[in-house]
Amino acid sequence: MTQSDLLPILTRIADALDRLTPPPQAHGDLDAAEAFVWQAEGEWLEPVTKVNRLPLSLLHGIERQRDALLENTRRFAQGLPANNALLWGARGTGKSSLVKSVHAAVSTETSGAVALVEIHREDIPSLPHLLRPLRASNRHFILFCDDLSFDGDDASYKSLKAILEGGIEGRPDNVLFYATSNRRHLMPRDMIENERSTAINPAEAVEEKVSLSDRFGLWLGFHVCDQPTYFAIVEGYSKKFGLDINTTDLRARANEWSVTRGARSGRVAWQFIQDIAGEFGKRLDT
């Protein structure tokens, strides 16, 4: 086989390899949207056209947490010092809703100066790659990780510790990290106890695990709401979406709904309102 015979074959092989390994994605236009999702596999920021969130005024029973996070985010948007925030506590109490609603409020106040970037928990090790384009931007960014926790032999928490504090480059001034978790120390108690019982120096082993939470300067605790707060949430939703039901019936049905679910929370209230709205043929456009 001559060289001229081999050339077409080699060309086809090269073309096939190019299709199997496409060029890396660009990071994208950092001004293209008010929110993005970090796609670690392709290392690019996917714009979000419509963020799933509620108006800040509809979040009841978490006024103290709302005010603290709102003030922290406003300072950040103004270029002032601000803290990374850990929102921890019971399920369905409004942690992730508060992050998205606060971002919307501050973004509106500052004409989109602050963008929200969601990063999935399993993509934490890719944080250095994400920070590279953000560091060079004039815009401010809140990195948001929902339901952050670590189990077993997962060592990716060390990557997060280095980013939050202690790394050579450190966290860029235009980036904050907000996370939600059901655990105050981001580790299950049995994992911490196991570290204590098996380590040569138990105190140091536990300190290594627990110190991740210390990287968050702002801790906001969320707890199961009482009945008056639960009713206030339901009534706020009902008024917002124009549901034609009197308060007595609304409360009675909301109470029955919470009993069947075995809990009272903002999430349970929202699920109840969705059921009522569907029954009445009303859309819930936020």
Q: In what order do the strands lie in the sheet with 35-39?
A: 44-47, 35-39, 114-118, 140-145, 175-181, 85-89, 218-222
First-to-final CA distance of the chain: 69
Same domain, 207 and 106: yes
What domain range is 155 assigned to?
35-222
Same domain, 217 and 236: no
Q: What is the CA radius of gyration of the chain?
A: 24
| pLDDT surpasses 80 at 32 | yes
| pLDDT surpasses 80 at 33 | yes
pLDDT at 192: 47
For the ranges 40-44, 66-70, 170-174, 181-185, the one whose mean pLDDT is highest: 66-70
Q: pLDDT tens digits, residue range 135-193? A: 999 999 999 999 887 765 666 666 777 777 656 667 889 999 999 998 776 655 554 44
Among the residue ranges 27-31, 112-116, 172-176, 233-237, the one predicted with the least confidence is 27-31
pLDDT at 109: 95
| Residue 7 domain flag | no
The proportion of the chain whose per-residue pLDDT surpasses 70, expressed as a percent, equals 76
Same domain, 75 and 119: yes
| pLDDT surpasses 50 at 38 | yes
| Residue 30 domain flag | no
Q: pLDDT tens digits, residue range 82-130? A: 999 999 998 889 999 999 999 999 999 999 999 999 999 889 889 888 9
Task: Give the residue among 144, 91, 138 at the shortest CA–CA distance from 120.
Answer: 144
Same domain, 152 and 263: no
Mean pLDDT of 15-24: 58
Same domain, 215 and 249: no
Going by the DSSP 8-state scheme, the letter that residue 41 receives in this structure is: T
Mean pLDDT of 230-235: 95
Domain boundary among 201, 222, 243: 222
Contact 156, 125 (CB under 8 A): yes
pLDDT at 171: 81
Same domain, 263 and 195: no
Higher pLDDT, 210 or 35: 35
| Residue 29 domain flag | no
CA distances from 23 to 19, 41, 45, 210 (A): 9, 13, 16, 40
Distance of CA 78 to the CA centre of its chain: 22
Q: Give residue 276's pLDDT band: very low, low, confident or very high (50, 70, 90).
A: very high
Average pLDDT, the chain: 84
Sequence length of the chain is: 286
pLDDT at 17: 67
| Residue 120 domain flag | yes
Same domain, 163 and 247: no
Same domain, 128 and 254: no
CA distances from 258 to 2, 77, 92, 264, 279 (A): 80, 38, 13, 6, 18
| pLDDT surpasses 50 at 200 | no
What are residue 89's DSSP bridge partners? 222
Q: What H or E segment, with its residue span, contains residue 122?
A: none
Strand, coil or helix: what is 202?
helix
What are residue 115's DSSP bridge partners? 141
The proportion of the chain whose per-residue pLDDT surpasses 90, expressed as a percent, equals 54
| pLDDT surpasses 50 at 201 | no
Strand, coil or helix: what is 143?
strand
- Its sign, for the CA torsion 223, 124, 111, 85, is positive
Same domain, 148 and 268: no
| Residue 16 domain flag | no
Q: How many domains does the chain have?
A: 2
Task: Give the residue among 137, 94, 132 at the shortest CA–CA distance from 115.
Answer: 137
| Residue 116 domain flag | yes
